[in-house]
């Protein structure tokens, strides 16, 4: 795989050069995604990546694009650079891969899940309009008397259910939402139809005893717990789009955090 503009800088005019600049801004994203995929596939058995020069030749892009791509992976904790030795895959990242992954800036759950190439399926359990509760009013900055969509979905990997989603979206933000849309990716709909992206979230992660519904839908035993991820998801202008509670089979409650103590 390689990425090239196919144009020499000396041959470009103002318009063409602008296009090249735009491509340069997006090429590194594609490169880092491809390197990440290779890491998932075990393409670096010794856990050492080629040097920047070799990667630039391999992808047919500038070293600055390679540097930006690698910096993104460093920030995500997937790789680390050892001065004088090179760039390496974080072995703990490989050991503790979770199905809940952030990909780029879109925070939709459909964009997160990864489990050895399996694609999660969605079963819409319930979709209705309700008055916002005080908790939802506070989370979504709504007023008393405002309404929300209640969206309840069951996610599965293959035939194995692993998550119950209960999401609440203000009607005022997405007045045209329907069952067909919510049975797929809501955030993808927001991005394509509203030209907005969901870029931030505040998440709380905890566990509690499973309910009868948890046990029925997630195939849990009565003495088994359920994992809970509760969060508010914000659009790129800071508007809260969704207040969501995700109840997971405890085997899938696996959370990784990368903390940098650098002063930068």
State pTM to two decimals. 0.65
Q: What is the CATH number of domain 109-252?
A: 3.40.1410.10
Task: Output the pLDDT for position 136.
Answer: 95
Residue ranges per structural domain of the chain: 9-95, 109-252
Residues 6+ apart with CB under 8 A from 88: 47, 48, 49, 79, 80, 81, 82
Query: Is the predicted pLDDT of residue 10 greater than 70, yes or no?
Result: no
User: Cα–Cα distance between 242 and 235 in angstroms, integer?
Assistant: 9
User: Cα–Cα distance between 30 and 6 in angstroms, integer?
Assistant: 17
Average the pLDDT over 42-69 and give the result: 92
Task: Output the pLDDT for position 94.
Answer: 72
Task: Output the pLDDT for position 115.
Answer: 46
Average the pLDDT over 213-225 and give the result: 96
Task: Output the pLDDT for position 162.
Answer: 92
114-118, 139-143, 212-216, 224-228, range with the lowest pLDDT: 114-118
Which band of pLDDT confidence, cut at 50, 70 and 90, is reported for residue 63? Answer: very high
Query: Is the predicted pLDDT of residue 88 greater than 70, yes or no?
Result: yes
How big is the CA angle at 193 (ends 191 and 196), to the nearest 5 degrees?
35
Torsion of CA 90, 96, 100, 101, to 10 degrees: 10
CA–CA distance from 154 to each of 87, 203, 221 (Å)? Answer: 40, 20, 18
Which band of pLDDT confidence, cut at 50, 70 and 90, is reported for residue 19? Answer: very low
Query: Is the predicted pLDDT of residue 231 greater than 70, yes or no?
Result: yes
Q: What are phi and psi of 2, to 5 degrees?
A: -145, 160
CA dihedral sign, ordered 112, 117, 118, 122: positive
Strands 225-235 and 240-249 come out as antiparallel
What one-character-per-residue DSSP string does the chain give?
Answer: --------GGG--HHHHHHHHHHHHHHHHHHHHHHHHHHHTT--TTSBPPPHHHHHHHHTS-HHHHHHHHHHHHHTTSEEEETTTEEEE-HHHHHT--SB--BTTB--GGGTB-BTTBPEEEEEEEEEEEEPPHHHHHHHT--TT-EEEEEEEEEEETTEEEEEEEEEEETTT-TT--HHHHTS-HHHHHHHHH---EEEEEEEEEEEE--HHHHHHHT--TT-EEEEEEEEEEETTS-EEEEEEEEEEGGG------------
Which candidate, 135, 105, 136, 120, places its Cα nearest to that of 242? 136
Task: Output the pLDDT for position 96.
Answer: 62
Which band of pLDDT confidence, cut at 50, 70 and 90, is reported for residue 99? Answer: low
User: Cα–Cα distance between 150 and 174 in angstroms, integer?
Assistant: 13
- Tell me the fold of 9-95: Arc Repressor Mutant, subunit A (1.10.10)
Task: Output the pLDDT for position 107.
Answer: 41
Average the pLDDT over 134-158 and give the result: 94
User: Cα–Cα distance between 232 and 212 in angstroms, integer?
Assistant: 26
Structure tokens at 21: 């600049």
Q: What is the mean pLDDT of the chain?
A: 81
Average the pLDDT over 226-245 and give the result: 92
* pLDDT, tens digit, 9 for 90 and up, residues 175-190: 989 999 999 889 889 9
């Amino acid at each position: 795989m390689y990425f090239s503009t196919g144009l020499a800088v000396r041959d470009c005019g103002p318009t063409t050069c602008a296009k090249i600049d735009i491509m340069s801004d997006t090429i590194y994203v594609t490169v880092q995604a491809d390197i990440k995929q290779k890491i998932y596939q075990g393409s670096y058995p010794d856990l050492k990546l080629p040097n920047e020069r070799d990667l630039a030749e391999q992808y047919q892009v500038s070293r600055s694009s390679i540097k930006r791509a690698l910096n993104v992976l460093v920030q995500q904790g997937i790789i680390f650079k050892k001065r004088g030795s090179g760039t390496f895959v974080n072995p703990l990242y490989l050991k503790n891969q979770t199905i809940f992954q952030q990909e780029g800036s879109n925070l939709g759950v459909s964009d997160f899940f990864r489990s050895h190439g399996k694609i999660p399926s969605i079963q819409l359990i319930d979709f209705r309009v309700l008055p916002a509760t005080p908790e939802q009013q506070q989370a979504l900055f709504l007023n008393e008397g405002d309404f929300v969509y209640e969206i309840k979905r069951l996610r599965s990997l293959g035939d194995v259910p692993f998550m119950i989603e209960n999401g609440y979206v203000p009607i005022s933000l997405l007045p045209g939402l329907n069952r067909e849309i919510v049975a797929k990716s809501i955030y993808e709909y927001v991005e394509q139809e509203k030209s907005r992206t969901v870029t931030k979230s505040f998440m709380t992660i905890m566990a509690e005893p499973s309910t009868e519904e948890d046990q029925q839908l997630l195939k849990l035993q009565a003495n088994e717990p359920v994992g809970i991820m509760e969060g508010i998801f914000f659009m790129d202008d800071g508007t809260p789009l969704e207040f969501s509670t995700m109840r997971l089979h405890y085997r899938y409650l696996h959370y990784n955090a990368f903390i940098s103590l650098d002063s930068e």
